[in-house]
Amino acid sequence: MDQRHTATPVIAIVGRTNVGKSTLFNRLLETRKAITSSEAGTTRDINFGHCYWRDTILTVIDTAGLDLTSDAATDKNLTRQAKMAMKKADIILFVVDAPSGLNPMDRAFARHLQKSKKNVILIANKADNPGKRRIAMDPEWLKLGFGEPLPLSATNGTGVGDMLDIVYAQLAEDKRVGQEVPQIDIRVAIIGRPNVGKSSLLNALAGEDRVIVSEVAHTTKEPQDTLLTYEDEKGAKKNVLVIDTVGIRKKARVAPGIEKIGVHMSLEELKLADVAILMVDATQGIDVQEKKLAGLIEDFSGGILIVVNKWDKAEELKLGKAEEYVQYVYGQIPFFAWAPVAFVAAKTGARVSRLLSYVTEIAAKREKVVPQEELDTFVAQLKKKHHALFAEGGDRFGKIGNRPKVYGMTQVGTKPPTFMLVVHDKETLHPSFIRFVENRMREHFDFQGTPVRVLAREID
């Protein structure tokens, strides 16, 4: 069972395009979570984050502007996303542009908000100085039906504390304060080329429309977070933070500005991930881009799950059996031959439910601690079965030719599991020997899905 966590009060920031919603969102989170720009319509989907105020944790939602007039395929979905955010919110922050004055779109938006029957606080943003704050007090704003606006500047922070005090007071009146965000047990980053189905997969995992799904590639411009509570077959619950990252293209094709920032943020998310899901389009196969992405994941030492999407088209396109496709995947990215491969149809949700089970298993293996007694037995068996690779006896330098003399092994870390070989001479340890030990450990201790590091030190 996987579901959205809704324990904390939810604050939705809404308003027409380019009134400063994402700037306010970033101010509340005290971090650069949303991409802000003077380009209208920068926020293309809903952005979630947490704000801390007076010992209370608030879930804050930044929505796309509702006054889109283009014919892009996502327009209708963007409007639906903002409506969904307003439906989920306990309090709505209706943001208007103070210096620009009352706009017809503000009036239309206000009529829609009045139908929501939610607590609405009218925010006059960009009131960066006394003159602009006086403009924010124009009686014209009263026509929106939400009383006098609260002037503030999301850019410099003026008035934001007052706004949060009002939010807190309303939540306290509704007995919606004092609840805590659950601890995040596992961080999962979904990466892949543009339009491979990452957003569709997240939608299926969350069981609701969480991000925009569009046939237009490069729709997701920034990493997005969804917190899920997953309950396994034994009833154990895990809070899984799933991050839908920007589709990363070849460097030469990455557009400057917003998209470049989004790609950088995606790479930063990988550094924090416990498990990375590398998505592959079954109908397009693996090319240089997937190999590049796989290399990026490898550098960050997280667990790996390879998800082959659009498998519902396998029979139609004569892609062969799943077992054959797995071998194809391993042949293209052999350094991930230890990663499990799952087949899904993200758009329909087929086979998606098992993915969180894979993720929790991989995350658990990254934290696995092997008892010393079992490591001693493993080393002894390895020497016995592959004795030709190990030096036994030897000259006074403890080696025979270039074969290493290994005295034992200890575990020195987790995330990923890290082990130290105790040897006589590190120069005898060829990289192929280290890979051999890593592979045997993965087989023996069931480390599927997680990297295994084997280091070495010379005996004192």
327-348, pLDDT tens digit by residue?
Answer: 999 999 999 999 999 999 998 8
Please, which pLDDT band fits residue 421 given cuts at 50, 70 and 90? very high
Are 43 and 20 within 8 A, CB to CB? Answer: no
Higher-confidence residue: 199 or 412?
Answer: 412
- 276 has a pLDDT exceeding 80: yes
Helix axis angle, 372-385 to 431-445, nearest 10°: 120
310 φ/ψ sector (left φ>0, alpha ψ -120 to 50, else beta): left
Are 419 and 455 within 8 A, CB to CB? Answer: yes
Both tokens of 145, joined, read: 């039906």
- 455 has a pLDDT exceeding 90: yes
Residues contacting residue 383 through CB under 8 Å, at least 6 positions apart: 390, 392, 406
Distance in angstroms (rounded) separating the CA atoms of residues 439 and 279: 24
Are 453 and 418 within 8 A, CB to CB? Answer: yes
Q: pTM for this structure?
A: 0.65
CA-to-CA dists, residue 388 to 192, 385, 392, 401, 405, angstroms: 42, 9, 9, 12, 11
Higher-confidence residue: 274 or 255?
Answer: 274
Distance in angstroms (rounded) separating the CA atoms of residues 314 and 183: 39
Q: How is 211-271 classified by DSSP, letter by letter? A: S---SSTT---S-EEEEEEEE-TTS-EEEEEEEEPPPP--GGGPPTTHHHHHHHHHHHHHH
156-193, pLDDT tens digit by residue?
Answer: 999 999 999 999 998 888 776 655 556 788 989 888 88
DSSP 34: S
Are 85 and 14 within 8 A, CB to CB? Answer: yes
Q: What is the mean pLDDT of the chain?
A: 78
Please, which pLDDT band fits residue 43 given cuts at 50, 70 and 90? very low
| Domains by residue range for the chain, with CATH | 2-173 (3.40.50.300), 186-366 (3.40.50.300), 372-458 (3.30.300.20)
Distance in angstroms (rounded) separating the CA atoms of residues 97 and 250: 38
Give me the mean pLDDT over the 225-239 stretch: 77
- Residue 191: strand, helix, or coil: strand
Residues contacting residue 381 through CB under 8 Å, at least 6 positions apart: none
pLDDT for 380 equals 92
- 53 has a pLDDT exceeding 80: yes
142-155, pLDDT tens digit by residue?
Answer: 999 999 999 999 99
4-17, pLDDT tens digit by residue?
Answer: 334 568 888 888 88
- 66 has a pLDDT exceeding 70: no
- 260 has a pLDDT exceeding 60: no
- 403 has a pLDDT exceeding 60: yes
Both tokens of 96, joined, read: 């208007």
